[in-house]
Protein backbone atom coordinates (compact mmCIF):
# COMPACT_ATOMS: atom_id res chain seq x y z
CA UNK A 1 0.00 0.00 0.00
CA UNK A 2 2.79 2.34 0.88
CA UNK A 3 4.33 1.80 -2.61
CA UNK A 4 1.11 2.64 -4.37
CA UNK A 5 0.57 5.80 -2.39
CA UNK A 6 4.08 6.91 -3.22
CA UNK A 7 3.49 6.29 -6.93
CA UNK A 8 0.19 8.20 -6.86
CA UNK A 9 1.80 11.11 -5.08
CA UNK A 10 4.56 11.18 -7.67
CA UNK A 11 2.05 11.22 -10.53
CA UNK A 12 0.10 14.08 -8.91
CA UNK A 13 3.28 16.09 -8.48
CA UNK A 14 4.28 15.41 -12.11
CA UNK A 15 0.80 16.44 -13.35
CA UNK A 16 0.97 19.64 -11.35
CA UNK A 17 4.36 20.39 -12.80
CA UNK A 18 3.02 19.81 -16.33
CA UNK A 19 0.13 22.18 -15.66
CA UNK A 20 2.50 24.84 -14.36
CA UNK A 21 4.88 24.37 -17.32
CA UNK A 22 1.97 24.53 -19.78
CA UNK A 23 0.68 27.72 -18.23
CA UNK A 24 4.08 29.30 -18.41
CA UNK A 25 4.27 28.31 -22.09
CA UNK A 26 0.98 29.95 -22.81
CA UNK A 27 2.06 33.12 -21.09
CA UNK A 28 5.27 33.23 -23.16
CA UNK A 29 3.59 32.59 -26.57
CA UNK A 30 0.86 35.19 -26.09
CA UNK A 31 -2.67 34.97 -27.59
CA UNK A 32 -3.37 32.83 -30.65
CA UNK A 33 -3.08 34.91 -33.96
CA UNK A 34 -6.34 35.84 -35.64
CA UNK A 35 -6.77 33.94 -38.89
CA UNK A 36 -7.17 35.95 -42.15
CA UNK A 37 -10.67 36.90 -43.25
CA UNK A 38 -12.03 34.61 -45.96
CA UNK A 39 -12.18 36.14 -49.48
CA UNK A 40 -15.96 36.01 -49.59
CA UNK A 41 -16.16 37.94 -46.35
CA UNK A 42 -13.51 40.46 -47.45
CA UNK A 43 -15.42 41.37 -50.66
CA UNK A 44 -18.70 41.94 -48.87
CA UNK A 45 -19.49 45.69 -49.15
CA UNK A 46 -21.63 47.74 -46.89
CA UNK A 47 -24.08 50.24 -48.50
CA UNK A 48 -21.83 53.16 -47.50
CA UNK A 49 -18.80 51.52 -49.07
CA UNK A 50 -20.77 50.77 -52.23
CA UNK A 51 -21.80 54.42 -52.55
CA UNK A 52 -18.20 55.55 -52.06
CA UNK A 53 -16.94 53.16 -54.74
CA UNK A 54 -19.62 54.31 -57.16
CA UNK A 55 -18.66 57.94 -56.68
CA UNK A 56 -14.98 57.08 -57.14
CA UNK A 57 -15.73 55.18 -60.35
CA UNK A 58 -17.70 58.13 -61.75
CA UNK A 59 -14.83 60.54 -61.05
CA UNK A 60 -12.33 58.19 -62.65
CA UNK A 61 -14.48 57.80 -65.75
CA UNK A 62 -14.76 61.57 -66.07
CA UNK A 63 -10.97 61.96 -65.81
CA UNK A 64 -10.38 59.45 -68.62
CA UNK A 65 -12.99 60.95 -70.93
CA UNK A 66 -15.37 57.95 -70.62
CA UNK A 67 -18.00 59.80 -68.69
CA UNK A 68 -21.05 60.91 -70.65
CA UNK A 69 -20.68 64.59 -71.49
CA UNK A 70 -23.14 67.10 -72.84
CA UNK A 71 -21.92 69.13 -75.82
CA UNK A 72 -22.80 72.79 -75.34
CA UNK A 73 -25.08 74.11 -78.01
CA UNK A 74 -23.80 77.27 -79.74
CA UNK A 75 -26.24 80.16 -79.62
CA UNK A 76 -28.01 80.84 -82.91
CA UNK A 77 -26.29 83.50 -85.07
CA UNK A 78 -27.58 86.99 -84.72
CA UNK A 79 -29.46 87.88 -87.89
CA UNK A 80 -27.94 90.73 -89.82
CA UNK A 81 -30.04 93.52 -91.10
CA UNK A 82 -30.35 93.26 -94.85
CA UNK A 83 -30.23 96.24 -97.12
CA UNK A 84 -33.64 97.47 -98.25
CA UNK A 85 -34.73 95.93 -101.50
CA UNK A 86 -34.26 98.03 -104.56
CA UNK A 87 -31.15 99.83 -103.25
CA UNK A 88 -27.55 99.24 -104.29
CA UNK A 89 -24.18 100.74 -103.60
CA UNK A 90 -23.17 103.45 -106.08
CA UNK A 91 -20.82 102.17 -108.82
CA UNK A 92 -17.14 102.68 -108.15
CA UNK A 93 -15.50 104.43 -111.10
CA UNK A 94 -11.84 103.80 -111.75
CA UNK A 95 -10.16 107.01 -112.98
CA UNK A 96 -8.90 105.36 -116.19
CA UNK A 97 -12.13 103.56 -117.13
CA UNK A 98 -15.59 104.68 -118.30
CA UNK A 99 -18.59 104.15 -116.04
CA UNK A 100 -20.28 100.72 -116.11
CA UNK A 101 -22.97 99.87 -118.62
CA UNK A 102 -26.53 100.88 -117.87
CA UNK A 103 -25.65 104.41 -116.80
CA UNK A 104 -28.19 106.79 -118.31
CA UNK A 105 -26.96 110.09 -116.90
CA UNK A 106 -23.75 111.23 -115.27
CA UNK A 107 -23.11 113.48 -112.33
CA UNK A 108 -20.21 115.91 -112.28
CA UNK A 109 -18.05 113.65 -110.13
CA UNK A 110 -18.33 110.81 -112.67
CA UNK A 111 -17.46 113.13 -115.56
CA UNK A 112 -14.44 114.55 -113.75
CA UNK A 113 -13.26 111.02 -112.92
CA UNK A 114 -13.58 110.01 -116.58
CA UNK A 115 -11.59 113.04 -117.76
CA UNK A 116 -8.91 112.33 -115.17
CA UNK A 117 -8.58 108.76 -116.43
CA UNK A 118 -8.59 109.90 -120.04
CA UNK A 119 -5.77 112.35 -119.34
CA UNK A 120 -3.74 109.62 -117.62
CA UNK A 121 -4.19 107.30 -120.61
CA UNK A 122 -2.95 110.00 -123.00
CA UNK A 123 0.08 110.70 -120.80
CA UNK A 124 0.98 107.00 -120.72
CA UNK A 125 0.12 106.26 -124.35
CA UNK A 126 -2.52 103.64 -123.44
CA UNK A 127 -3.79 103.25 -127.00
CA UNK A 128 -6.12 100.30 -126.34
CA UNK A 129 -7.91 102.02 -123.47
CA UNK A 130 -8.25 105.21 -125.50
CA UNK A 131 -9.65 103.28 -128.48
CA UNK A 132 -12.16 101.37 -126.34
CA UNK A 133 -13.49 104.67 -124.97
CA UNK A 134 -14.10 106.30 -128.39
CA UNK A 135 -17.64 107.34 -129.27
CA UNK A 136 -19.14 105.28 -132.15
CA UNK A 137 -19.50 108.52 -134.14
CA UNK A 138 -15.69 108.80 -134.28
CA UNK A 139 -15.39 105.34 -135.85
CA UNK A 140 -18.24 106.23 -138.21
CA UNK A 141 -16.33 109.25 -139.51
CA UNK A 142 -12.73 107.93 -139.51
CA UNK A 143 -12.93 104.13 -139.32
CA UNK A 144 -11.35 101.79 -136.79
CA UNK A 145 -8.05 101.35 -138.64
CA UNK A 146 -7.32 105.08 -138.87
CA UNK A 147 -8.19 105.62 -135.21
CA UNK A 148 -5.98 102.75 -134.03
CA UNK A 149 -3.09 104.08 -136.05
CA UNK A 150 -3.55 107.60 -134.69
CA UNK A 151 -3.97 106.59 -131.06
CA UNK A 152 -0.88 104.39 -131.33
CA UNK A 153 1.17 107.55 -131.78
CA UNK A 154 -0.66 109.59 -129.15
CA UNK A 155 1.51 110.08 -126.08
CA UNK A 156 1.86 113.40 -124.29
CA UNK A 157 3.40 113.44 -120.83
CA UNK A 158 1.96 116.93 -120.18
CA UNK A 159 -1.62 116.28 -121.23
CA UNK A 160 -4.28 117.25 -118.70
CA UNK A 161 -7.88 118.44 -118.65
CA UNK A 162 -8.90 120.76 -115.83
CA UNK A 163 -12.69 120.70 -115.88
CA UNK A 164 -14.61 123.86 -115.01
CA UNK A 165 -18.34 124.12 -115.59
CA UNK A 166 -20.26 121.06 -116.84
CA UNK A 167 -23.64 121.11 -118.59
CA UNK A 168 -25.85 118.29 -119.88
CA UNK A 169 -27.12 115.92 -120.88
CA UNK A 170 -27.96 117.65 -124.15
CA UNK A 171 -28.20 117.13 -127.89
CA UNK A 172 -25.02 118.20 -129.62
CA UNK A 173 -23.76 118.26 -133.20
CA UNK A 174 -20.17 117.12 -133.54
CA UNK A 175 -18.52 118.90 -136.45
CA UNK A 176 -15.20 117.56 -137.72
CA UNK A 177 -13.42 117.65 -141.10
CA UNK A 178 -16.46 119.04 -142.89
CA UNK A 179 -18.83 116.47 -141.42
CA UNK A 180 -21.62 116.97 -138.90
CA UNK A 181 -22.83 114.12 -136.68
CA UNK A 182 -25.81 114.41 -134.32
CA UNK A 183 -24.98 113.21 -130.80
CA UNK A 184 -27.42 112.67 -127.95
CA UNK A 185 -26.74 112.48 -124.19
CA UNK A 186 -23.73 114.76 -124.54
CA UNK A 187 -22.01 116.84 -121.87
CA UNK A 188 -20.10 120.08 -122.51
CA UNK A 189 -17.12 120.75 -120.25
CA UNK A 190 -15.56 124.21 -120.19
CA UNK A 191 -12.08 124.28 -118.75
CA UNK A 192 -8.37 124.34 -119.41
CA UNK A 193 -6.58 121.79 -121.60
CA UNK A 194 -2.80 121.29 -121.43
CA UNK A 195 -1.16 119.70 -124.45
CA UNK A 196 2.49 119.67 -125.52
CA UNK A 197 3.25 121.74 -122.46
CA UNK A 198 0.84 124.53 -123.40
CA UNK A 199 -2.41 125.33 -121.59
CA UNK A 200 -5.40 127.00 -123.21
CA UNK A 201 -9.10 127.47 -122.58
CA UNK A 202 -11.23 124.92 -124.37
CA UNK A 203 -14.62 123.27 -124.48
CA UNK A 204 -14.46 119.50 -124.33
CA UNK A 205 -17.34 117.08 -125.02
CA UNK A 206 -18.15 113.58 -123.82
CA UNK A 207 -21.33 111.58 -124.35
CA UNK A 208 -23.01 108.42 -123.19
CA UNK A 209 -23.16 105.66 -125.80
CA UNK A 210 -23.50 101.89 -125.50
CA UNK A 211 -23.91 102.27 -121.74
CA UNK A 212 -20.59 104.01 -121.11
CA UNK A 213 -18.93 107.42 -121.25
CA UNK A 214 -17.25 108.12 -124.61
CA UNK A 215 -14.94 110.81 -126.00
CA UNK A 216 -14.28 112.42 -129.37
CA UNK A 217 -11.08 113.06 -131.31
CA UNK A 218 -9.82 113.73 -134.83
CA UNK A 219 -8.18 110.53 -136.13
CA UNK A 220 -6.88 112.10 -139.39
CA UNK A 221 -8.51 111.82 -142.76
CA UNK A 222 -12.21 110.93 -142.73
CA UNK A 223 -13.60 108.00 -144.65
CA UNK A 224 -14.73 108.69 -148.18
CA UNK A 225 -18.50 108.65 -148.62
Q: What CATH number is given to the structural domain containing 205? A: 3.10.450
By the 8 A CB rule, do 110 and 179 touch?
Answer: no
pTM for this prediction: 0.54
Nearest Cα residue to 216 out of 139, 159, 155, 162: 139
Report helix, strand and coil shares of the chain as percent, to nearest 5: 40, 25, 40
Instruction: Report yes or no on 181 lying in a domain.
Output: yes
Residue 222 lies in a domain: no
Peptide bond into 112 cis (omega under 30): no
Residue 14 confidence (pLDDT): 59
Query: Does residue 83 sit within a domain?
Result: no
In a domain, 141, yes or no: yes
Q: Is residue 32 part of a domain?
A: no
Show pLDDT as tens, one digit a residue, over the chain (225 residues). Answer: 555 555 555 666 656 666 655 555 544 555 444 343 333 333 334 343 333 333 333 333 333 344 343 444 444 444 444 444 443 433 333 433 444 433 456 789 999 999 999 999 999 999 999 999 999 999 999 999 999 999 999 999 999 999 999 999 999 999 999 999 999 999 999 999 999 999 999 999 999 999 899 999 999 999 986
- Domain assignment present for residue 179? The answer is yes
Please report whether residue 30 resides in a domain.
no
**Domains identified in the chain, total number:** 1
Q: Which domain holds residue 121?
A: 108-215
The pLDDT value given to residue 128: 96
**What is the reported pLDDT for 151?**
97
Residue 86 falls inside a structural domain: no
Amino acid sequence: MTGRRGLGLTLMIAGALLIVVGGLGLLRRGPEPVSSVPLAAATTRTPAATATLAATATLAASATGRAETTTPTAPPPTPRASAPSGTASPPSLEPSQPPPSGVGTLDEAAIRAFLSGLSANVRHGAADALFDALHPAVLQVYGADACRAYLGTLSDSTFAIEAGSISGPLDWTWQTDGKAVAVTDAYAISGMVTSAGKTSASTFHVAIAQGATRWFTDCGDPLAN
